[in-house]
Amino acid sequence: VDCNDYDECTDDSCDASSGCINSPVECDDYDPCTDDDCDSETGCTNTAIDCSDYDLCTIDSCEEGRCEHEDKCPPHPCYTNSCEKEVGECVYVSIDCDDDDACTVDSCDEDTSECVHEEVDCDDDNECTDEYCDCETGCVYSDVVCTSHTCFEPVECDRESGCPLPSTPLDCDDYDACTEDECVDDKCINEPIPVSDYDYCTLDYCSEGEVYHLPVECDDYDECTVDSCDTETGDCVYENID
């Protein structure tokens, strides 16, 4: 007996006691995201559920029989996000954290998407510069001028230790043994050694550090006069011999 009913949606068979059996075909593919049906000419059809929302800025899918519409342009830390509806293109623009302060390093924290402004470190590890930060121009450096100390040689700044204490006195030696050399208010004073014996009848002078007092020469080379020196005036006196 020919039991074929020419219907692709039935399973055809023959039972000896009851005759032809045409049981419906099982088309369930156990996928909740398909519509299961049967066409009598072609058999089972399992058509994917249409989840399109006709929005180019979403990713459409089916999960457990439910349509999902995921944002095509999800948020990204430290960026603003948007989607061009007509073409479905994502647009990401970095967050502007510039605070217009040259004394901060500006950045965005990717954990919080918040701006961070860290103070600029202007330290150049040089003890011979003074540094500070100008909000408009940034770090500014100026040379340290070591303080001068009265009657000491100027000192130079050391990069690692800075300005040293003065240790070398100003050299006021004029290499003249007949002067007394000293420094007063950063000026050398070279005063002659006192040589006067307060005697008008001596010539007082210094030579190589030694003071000399030579008698005034009053000799007129005249055997008929007595030659002497007036101790009050320093004048030579010539008295005729009687």
| DSSP conformation letters of 37-73 | EEETTTEEEEEEP----S-TTEEEEEETTEEEEEESS
Tracing tokens 């030659």 back to the chain, one arrives at 227
pTM score of the predicted model = 0.49
C-beta of residue 48 within 8 angstroms of C-beta of residue 61: no
C-beta of residue 49 within 8 angstroms of C-beta of residue 31: no
C-beta of residue 52 within 8 angstroms of C-beta of residue 60: yes
Question: How does pLDDT run along the chain (242 residues), one tens digit per residue?
Answer: 788 989 999 998 998 888 899 999 999 999 999 999 999 999 999 999 999 999 999 999 999 999 999 999 999 999 999 999 999 999 999 999 999 999 999 999 999 999 999 999 999 999 999 999 999 999 999 999 998 888 998 899 999 999 998 888 999 999 999 999 999 988 999 999 999 999 999 999 999 999 999 999 999 999 999 999 998 899 999 999 87
Using CB atoms within 10 Å of the CB of residue 111, give its burial: 0 to 12 exposed, 13 to 18 middle, 19+ buried.
exposed
Go through 45-72 and write b for each residue having 16 or more CB atoms within 10 A of its CB, e for each that does not: eeeeeeeeeeeebbeeebeeeeeeeeeb
